[in-house]
Chain A
Amino acid sequence: MKTNNIRIRLIIIITCMMAFILMPFHGFSVEAPEYTIKSIFIKKIIKYITWPDNSFNSSDNAINLCFVEENEFLDAFDTLKDKSSKDRPIYLKNYWLSSQTCHILFINSKNRKLVESILSKVKNMPVLTIGEMEGFVELGGIINFIKESDKIRFEINIDSAKRSGFTISSHLLKLSKIFREE
């Protein structure tokens, strides 16, 4: 009984000590909802991309971000919209209803046929296409989000970006998986 008692105490003490020793460690796993991460990615990526001349006609330099399907992505963007930033203002548009140009087209669909048909419509136009479907860059999309062990990564089709007249900073390219059309 005595040894048992001591053992239990020891375990408790060790646990407490461990907890305190471990306190200083932090920053390993930050978590966020998928579309919050994606929306922030999009905001950050914009800074490393130059659109072809004359893409922005109005003086406010606002970016029209179009989406294909309504999903949580929009909620995530809404919560970020209010925060003041030096970035260009971003306007959310529904691709199907939008009569204006889309500077960024987030093809948030995994329906291959649909994605293919949209991509063919905007081919070679100065529209930054962003997808989240396996094989998106192979179909001619420019940037694709992929999920790797619960983290969001992205791939870039450089050839497609060039054809549409985009210049992408080497910093961004370094972080991405590069896809080349042979």
Chain B
Amino acid sequence: MANRINSFIFVLFIFIWLFPYKIYSENTSEADIDIEELSIEELMEVKVTSVSKKIEKLVNSPAAIYVITQDDIKKFGATSLPEILRMAPGMQVSRNDLTDWDVNIRGLNEFFSNKLLVLIDGRSVYTPIFSGVFWDIQDTMLDDIDRIEIIRGPGASLWGSNAVNGVINIITKNPKNTQGVNTSILGGNKEITGNVRYGGKIKDNIYYRFFVKKFDREKLSDSEDKDDNSKNEINAHNYEKKWVSNRGGFQLELNMNDKNSLSIKSEVYENQFKTNYYEVSFMEPYVFEKEGTSDAFGCYVLTDFKRTISETSDFQIKTYFDRAEKEHLPTKASVDTFDVDFQYHISLCDTNDIVWGLGYRYIMDSFRNSNILGLYPDKLNQKIFSGFIQDEIYVCKDIFHVTFGSKFEYNDFTEFEIQPSVKFLWNFKESHSLWGSISRAVRVPSRIERDGLILQWYIVNEDQYPLIVQDEGTDSLNSEVLMAYELGYRVKPYSNIWMDSTIFYNDYRGLVNGELGEIYIRTNPVPHYVQPVYFKNILNGQSYGFELASDWQALNNIRFRAAYSYLKTNVYYENLQEDAFFEITGALPPRNQFILRSAIDLTRTIQADFAVKFVDRLVKKESKKEIESYTDCNFRIAWTPFKTIEFALAGQNLFKNKHLEQSDIQVDRIFYLKMTYEN
């Protein structure tokens, strides 16, 4: 029944989505107001378009780019970064637990989610420990985000290794554009959040802002069917899980003159949540559950200097130091990163646009080992040297461009890596463009894959020694390699409609997975058997799919945006050529995903926003269980009685009380009231 309703809604939205073209022709005159004919009084009511020229240029580049603006973030009603990312096509976001999300682009959600690069103001938040992002410690003041650029497909030729499946670039506003006070308080059934930001200026060209943010989030619901089969299993989540976070930041911007600018940014945060975890011993009761508090702490300082040398050339030097400490009970990882990047851009004779750069990164990590997860050695210093060059050639200016580029990187781990790409962009008719690219990208193995020891199972035998099954890192690992082929088409048939479609084919080689080794006996601290599972580059895989995004300004006060993604993946053993799906960790990704958003200005002071999302079923490997498809919606209604005050009532997941997304933790219905004062 639920499935039928889902498919009904799905068809309905596809229909609504295709509908615009018909209506449009009748409404041309309304939608296409010639602002030149307006009087001065009317002109004073015209809003300045929020889409900057930079975004326009970005959108017209040979890559699958989607931009989420501040306005989109506000209207979507989400309160955390991973939830915001659901808006973009090709993006898979699923919530596993209160503090845990799987975020990925074009991949098996668990299996490929280590191939995504995430940058906040140019600072990489990808952790080299397990090749991924700890989403629970990535946050900032959401009202001060300028935009989020999401690049699907490899961005390795510019950003380097690990930008395999995509790049997420979170960019905050300049202090110049965040002057004055912004304070908001949000209270709802699952969270309370408070934000304060103040921006000011010291002199005409020196601006600053600082902010503090605090939130307190409630636990998610337990699985509904726990009284059926899993009744006797230990319920790991039957506790009061609370998540508290404190964060503060500061930014200073100096525009020394028109040519030079310097920005200094710093942030400190601490996170804390209650959690249950397991410990293992070689005596009764062997495996036991403990309750604890998981702490995280982090801070960074970033400086960014930009200089315009002439109309055709400029350069940028960016440095940052970042410290992140996070407990993953009973273990803890601390990572210090120091990074310097230099980038130089020059336009040559109106026919070439060249960017080149150099980078150096030094990473110091330290790990608190436990007998279920450890790194050997537990401290390691690594360095990465890199350089890149990219040349965009205007074969026929504004009509046909070809871009060549490559990144060259040296790391201590896999040593020399080359990641080239070739792209073209063809504006074959006004407002129609076609682009394509072929690129090679690599993912360097994580510390865990090289030096880790992870206990998977502990089996107690009655009359023999106990058996331990453990994953063991191998230092002979190579990088995983992707060859990606993409083709995209963008069209803007009328001034108020825009559509973007992309097809892609990804070919992965040498994906890392466990391979069974020989059983051996270990005598310390008591004799026991060890079944090692070694990390090896033993899998190959392909994935293909297409993505569609559209934007339709139906009337001046009504706007619709939609995104659809189709994805199919296949992973198999290099030697056996057979489907390895049931052998590997992870879940098959949702084949179809759809999101439709509408934004309506009811009156000058009231806005109503609605979003419906559909996510196809997931098949999970471990349990061979299926997670049902779901259709859900977000809603927000905002009232601005005065210029400076806004009240918003918003909700997420309103169709159902709870639903499953990836793990056996239910994602609940969320609603809140938010009051914002901005002056």
Contact = CB atoms under 8 A, between A and B. Distances in A.
B9 A111 contact: no
Contacts of A96: none
Contact of B655 (A8, A27, A41, A172): A8
Interface string A132-146: 000000000000000
B171 to A, nearest CB: 19
A72 B244 CA distance: 46
B40 A151 contact: no
Contacts of B558: 19, 22-23
Interface stretch (A32-40, A55-63, A122-130, A157-165): A32-40
B68 interface: no
B582 to A, nearest CB: 32
B36 A83 contact: yes
Contact of B557 (A8, A12, A22, A80): A22
B35 A32 contact: yes
B602 A25 contact: yes
A151 B601 contact: no
A31 B557 contact: no
A111 B47 contact: no
B59 to A, nearest CB: 14
A36 B633 contact: no
Interface string B634-665: 00000000010000000000111000000000
B566 interface: no
B557 A26 contact: yes
A15 interface: yes
A44 B43 contact: yes
A72 B45 contact: no
A150 B50 contact: yes
Contacts of A32: 35, 46-49
Given A28-B557, A31-B47, A45 B655 contact: no
Contacts of A54: none
A89 to B, nearest CB: 16
A149 interface: yes
A22 B600 contact: yes
Contact of B35 (A15, A36, A149): A36
A31 B49 contact: yes
Contacts of A18: 600, 608
Contacts of A36: 35
Contacts of A80: 36
A151 B557 contact: no
Interface in B256-294: 257-258
Contacts of A19: 558, 598, 600
Given A28-B604, A175-B40, A11 B633 contact: yes
A8 B5 contact: yes
A43 B602 CA distance: 32
Contacts of A147: 48
Interface in B205-221: 205
A109 B258 CA distance: 9
B46 A152 contact: yes
Interface residues of A, number: 43
B526 interface: no
Contact of A37 (B35, B204, B603): B35
B556 interface: yes
B257 A111 contact: yes
A41 B557 contact: no
A4 B4 CA distance: 13
A1 B657 CA distance: 12
A29 interface: yes
Given A34-B48, A37-B48, A111-B258, A45 B30 contact: no
B12 interface: yes
A76 to B, nearest CB: 11
A25 B49 CA distance: 21
A70 to B, nearest CB: 8
B53 interface: yes
Contact of B556 (A28, A45, A149): A28
Contacts of B48: 31-34, 37, 147, 150-152
B557 A25 contact: yes
Interface centre among A22, A109, A147 (most CB of B within 10 A): A22
B396 interface: no
Interface of B: 1-2, 5, 9, 12, 30, 33, 35-36, 38-41, 43-50, 53, 204-205, 257-258, 555-558, 598, 600-604, 608, 610, 633, 643, 654-656
User: Which 9 A-B pairs rank lowest in CB-CB distance, beginning with the nearest?
Assistant: A28-B557, A34-B48, A26-B555, A31-B49, A150-B47, A26-B556, A31-B47, A28-B601, A30-B46
Given A19-B558, A29-B47, A29-B557, 10 more contacts: A4-B656, A22-B602, A28-B557, A30-B46, A33-B48, A37-B43, A40-B35, A40-B38, A41-B43, A150-B50
